Amino acid sequence: MIVQSPPSVAYRYNASTVSPSTRQTIATTAAISADTVTLSAAARQQLASEQSASGSSRSATQATFDTDKGVVSLNVDDYLSSKLDSGTGELPPLLMPSQRNIDALNQYISSQLPGVLAAHGIPSAPAQITYDSSGQMQFPADYPYADAFKQALNDTPSLARAINWTSGLSSTKADLDRYAPFQEELQNATTTQAQTAIFNKYAALLSGSGPAPQVALHFDAKGQVSITIDGKAQTA
């Protein structure tokens, strides 16, 4: 029996879903660090200068994220627009699939989307957004402003990334959560026989052959976002 270990993810999202084949190549365990962030001197200097230069206007989009470098406070606009990439010689912090990160991106979408809709003359957001297996955004068939909405996202790439990453992080977190019962039972197993029984019990899950979680982002009339996974509402 080929056993697939639980995945671990820390990255800046492009893909909106995690396919079974991708899940089979991800490392063995999820680790969301709460350690104090360690950045190079150049990175710290740039972050400090950005914070002082932007002043109080940054607070509207400032948020705390779980990253591969620990818990980091970032300006969401800068992060999503890749402004943190320049001048340090190192990659920006990579997002973990944590609820904290999903909530922060949700709040950013909810704060930005109404203004983007108004600026582009779009009366309402789609009732929901999903992504297909190739990462293409999907709208309800009866949504009349699909082309205009796509153009609005093209004009506002930071919002497009926030929507995409929210979907992707939610999918990955849901995938990781599926492994929690297996990990707990295996940790508590005291005999080889018990461990074998647990591996047999979760054989389908560990094979990585199951479908990816189905994530949908739902928008109300004011552009506020909520998430369902496999049809079930997700709460912070």
Report whether pLDDT(50) > 60: no
Task: Note whether 152 and 120 are within 8 A (CB).
Answer: yes
Report whether pLDDT(129) > 90: yes
**85-89, 121-125, 165-169: range with lowest mean pLDDT:** 85-89
Q: What confidence score (pLDDT) does residue 210 get?
A: 74
Q: Grade residue 82 by pLDDT with cuts at 50, 70 and 90.
A: confident
**Rounded CA separation 130/225 (Å):** 13
Q: What confidence score (pLDDT) does residue 58 get?
A: 41
Q: What confidence score (pLDDT) does residue 221 get?
A: 83
Task: Compute the average pLDDT of residues 55-84.
Answer: 78
Report whether pLDDT(39) > 60: no
pLDDT digits (tens, 9 = 90+) for 149-159: 999 999 999 99
Between vectors from CA 72 to CA 54 and to CA 59, what angle results, nearest 5°? 30
Q: What confidence score (pLDDT) does residue 201 get?
A: 93
Q: Grade residue 9 by pLDDT with cuts at 50, 70 and 90.
A: very low
Residue 41 CB contacts under 8 Å (≥ 6 apart), including other chains: none
Would you state the structure tokens that stand for residue 118, as one six-digit string? Answer: 């108004």
First to last CA, the chain: 37
